[in-house]
Every structure is written in C-alpha cells, then in structure tokens.
A and B are shown apart, each in its own frame.
Chain A
Amino acid sequence: MNKSDLLAEQIREISGVNPKKCMKCGKCSATCPSFDKMDIKPHQFVSYVDNDDIEPLTKSKSLWHCLSCFACVERCPRGVKPGKLIDAARQIAERQRGGDYLTPDEIPELFDEDTPQQLIVSAFRRYRK
C-alpha cells in the first residue's frame, strides 16, 4: 500500500466518517466560528477525503483553528460530522515525529494567574500527542 492510500484508510478509520453522504450544502463551513482562519474549510475537508487526497489536510493550518465546538457536527443535515475529519487529520499529524503544536516549554509564557487548569489540559489534549 502506498503512503497516500494508507493515509486515506487511516483517516476513514480514525474518524468513522463516510464522505459520500455529503450533499455539499456548505452549512458546516457557514456555521464554523473559525471559518475565516482556515486555509482548508470544513466542507473542503470532506471533499479532500472523498478524493483520497489526505496529505494536504495533515499539513493544513485548519487543524489548529478548529475549536471542537461541534457546530458543524450538530448542523450537518446529512450527519457527515466534518469536525471528526479535522480531528482525525490532526491525530495523523500529531502522531508523526515533530507533529505537536504545543510543548510544555511554552506554557510559562502563556499562563496568567487566572488560567484554569481546564485550559492547559484541553490544549495539551488537542495540540499534542
């Protein structure tokens, strides 16, 4: 199996998403609070996966702009769950060497006296393998 086929299989397995269900209404991107920050938009994630074109997704800046707010998941009329694809692509990126978006060394700079533990814990869960 070549690398591109492997990635396509991986993202389907991790996400459990069937991109064929998408009817391209664009509601996921319309409702995404990070839409303007994303280089690849939520509805485009679905199309990329449908075309087995996964490598660009694992390098996308969008991985670090998704808020896991589940607006796209809730509001998709076809139950496609684009947010799960973004998360799966993020998993693939983080499971590679050097794929982390946050390191413990950064924390002291990012901290203030009111920072809730929840913020640090959540960020590590999302930004780091």
Chain B
Amino acid sequence: MKYSYYPGCTLKSKATALDKYARASAAALGIELEEIDEWQCCGGVYPLGSDEIATKLASVRNLAAARDRGQELVTLCSACHHVLKRVNDDMRNVDDIRTRANNYMQLETPYAGETKVLHFLEVLRDVIGFDELKKKVVNPLTGKRIGAYYGCLLLRPGKLMAFDDPENPTIMEDFIRAIGAEPVVYPYRNECCGGYISLKEKERSKYLCLDITGSAKGWGAQMLITACPLCLYNINKAAGDVLPVYYFTELLAEALGVKEAADNE
C-alpha cells in the first residue's frame, strides 16, 4: 500500500517524534508513506472566510501533488489534516473557490478535489483494521490506562471531517485497545486546549488544559495520547506535571517493537 504523505512544518522540527514513529510503524505494517515533493505549510488554521483564496493555495498545491501521483494523501498532524481536508472540500464543492484558485494557479490539470485525504489513524482503522493491527503487536502495552485526547480539529465540523462521531468518538479508544492498553473515556477528551491562544495568553490555555488533564486523571488515566503538536505543547507546558502526554505514534511504535530502531535512525 503506497500513499502520498504530507508531514507539515512542525513534524520536521519540534514534532519529529510524531513523524519518525509513524514512519517506522507504517513500514512495520506494510504501508509506504511517500513524502510529496516540495510540500508547503498548510497555514495551521483553516481560513473560514468565504472570500479567502490566497490562504488556501498552499493546501491546493499539496492536494494536487498527491492527485498527480495518483495516490491518496496521508496526514498525521490534526491541524494539517483539518486544513487539507476542508480546503479539499472547498475545491470539490464550492464553485467560486475552485474557479478562482484554478485561475490563479494555472496547473497543467485543474484541481477539483479529486484527492482523498486520510489521517493515519483512519488508515489504521479502515485499511489495516484494528483487529489486524492487534495481531501485529509484539509488545502489548498491558496494564496502561490511557486517555485519548482528541481535541477539536480531527472531529469538527463532524459532517465535513467525517472522522468519527464528533461527540462520542471511539477511534482512538479502539486504537488503544489494539495496542493492548486500556482506554479511559473522560468528558473533556474533545474539548479545546486553547490552540493558538497560548502564544499571547498562556494562562488561558493553562486553565483549559488543567480541565482536560484533571478530568482524565479523575477518571483513572495514567497518560494522554494526541495527534496534534500544539495540543501536546499546550498540555505539556500547562499540565505536564498532572499527566504525561505522548503522540499516539510513539505508543504504536513501542507496541510494534520498532521504537528503538526508530530512535537509532
């Protein structure tokens, strides 16, 4: 199984762990992630304004690159996934944006949202299957009680992201079971960590993160997992002493027995 892969800016610098453990795990599962050439930063947040075109073009280039390779596009970072998926929806369904973006970009073949955007967790669930994943686990994380921290961007808006039930998701809990650990369901798992507010108002992000970690700990979690570098940063800075937080790919690599090899690469 070959996919185009979009890492995004942070996975090349502050979140290399999210990237390297995903690559190692993918290889162990027989998935080839081929990084697209000359990818550009997605911008981090989806431009909501209906007249925003220029801010969407970088995403269109990434999407068109995968289309030109005839591959589906796999993402890891929640924010990149959110932005690429929503811009793709615009290109497929919003005539005005599609026309203006294509007029500007003058691609050899105009882009109309042909690429399928998949988060790596969706590949694990829908392509590999969690039952199959479980069979490939050599080092089950038995006894660990893990809280899935979904945050906002993977789930909402629910109809468009179509990732899971936006209010009662199960994909990360099923993932946790597949790697042999015990999922802890807690009420704040899909509430916001503050996102970009932490740049100028750290206290506000802290207030929100303490709700999340307090809730997870109260329900018995020993650690949290996330797919988002900004969620991880906010929770670590604000409440890292309450609960440790890891990228889901790190635990996946550990369960598949490829973590050490990835660390030594």
* Chain A contact residues, CB within 8 Å of chain B: 13-16, 33-34, 37, 64-65, 67-71, 73-74, 83-84, 87-88, 91, 101-102, 106, 110, 112, 114-123, 125-127
Contact = CB atoms under 8 A, between A and B. Distances in A.
Contacts of B79: 118, 122
A125 B41 CA distance: 12
A64 B47 CA distance: 15
Contacts of B13: 116-117
B interface SS class: loop
Interface stretch (B125-133, B170-178, B188-196): B188-196
B50 A14 contact: yes
Interface centre among B10, B51, B152, B197, by most chain A C-beta atoms within 10 angstroms, is B197
Interface in B45-89: 45-52, 55, 77, 79
A72 B196 CA distance: 18
Contacts of B52: 91
B43 A73 contact: no
Interface stretch (B99-107, B110-118, B198-206, B253-261): B198-206
Interface stretch (B19-27, B141-149, B219-227, B229-237): B229-237
Given A65-B197, A102-B199, A122-B230, A70 B152 contact: yes
Given A115-B14, A121-B44, A74 B158 contact: yes
B124 interface: no
B158 A115 contact: no
Contacts of B237: 112, 114
Indicate the size class of the contact surface on chain B.
35 or more
20 contacts: A13-B50, A15-B48, A33-B191, A33-B194, A34-B204, A37-B204, A67-B152, A69-B156, A69-B191, A69-B195, A73-B157, A74-B167, A87-B49, A101-B200, A102-B200, A114-B237, A115-B233, A116-B230, A118-B229, A122-B195
A121 B45 CA distance: 8
B181 interface: no
A52 B52 CA distance: 23
Contacts of B200: 64, 101-102, 106, 110, 123, 127
Nearest to B79: A118
B92 to A, nearest CB: 17
Interface centre among B44, B55, B77, B233, by most chain A C-beta atoms within 10 angstroms, is B44
B196 A122 contact: yes
Contact of B14 (A64, A67, A70, A114): A114
Contacts of A102: 199-200
Contacts of A101: 200
Contacts, number: 123
Given A37-B204, A114-B14, A125-B55, A119 B196 contact: yes
B48 A84 contact: yes
A29 to B, nearest CB: 15
Contact of A15 (B45, B49, B194, B230): B49
A16 B51 CA distance: 10
A84 B263 CA distance: 43
B192 A71 contact: yes
Given A110-B199, A116-B10, A68 B51 contact: no
Contacts of A106: 200
A83 to B, nearest CB: 7
